Amino acid sequence: MSIIQLSVFLENRLGRLDDVLQILKDNNINIRALSLADKANYGILRMIVDNPEKCITVLKKENVSVNFTSVVAVEVEDRPGGLHEVVKLLVEGGINIEYMYAFVEKTKDKAVVVFRVEDIEKAEECLVLAGKKVLEKEEIPF
Q: List contacts with other proteins (CB under 8 A).
A: 5, 7, 9-11, 37, 39, 41-42, 44, 46, 63-67, 69, 98-99, 116
Task: Return the number of the residue (56 or 135) whose C-beta is nearest other proteins.
Answer: 56
Q: In the complex, what is the shortest distance from the CB of residue 62 to other proteins, in angstroms, rounded to a whole number?
A: 11
Residue number with CB closer to other proteins (99 or 142): 99
Question: From start to end of the chain, where are the E strands?
Answer: 3-11, 31-38, 42-49, 66-77, 97-104, 110-117
CB of 52 to other proteins, least distance (A): 13
For 17, other C-beta atoms within 10 Å of its C-beta total 15
Query: Closest distance between other proteins and the C-beta of residue 108, in Å?
Result: 27
Candidates 56, 75, 67, 69; CA nearest to 114 is: 75
Of residues 9 and 142, the one with the C-beta less far from other proteins? 9
Closer of 61 and 108 to other proteins (Cβ): 61
Contact 93, 126 (CB under 8 A): yes
Q: 90, 127 in Cβ contact below 8 A?
A: yes
- Residue 13 or 79: the one with the smaller Cβ distance to other proteins is 13
Q: Describe the strand order of the beta sheet including 31-38 as a list of residue ranges.
A: 31-38, 42-49, 3-11, 66-77, 110-117, 97-104
For residue 39, the minimal CB distance to other proteins (Å) is 6
Whole-number minimum distance, CB 80 to other proteins, in Å? 30
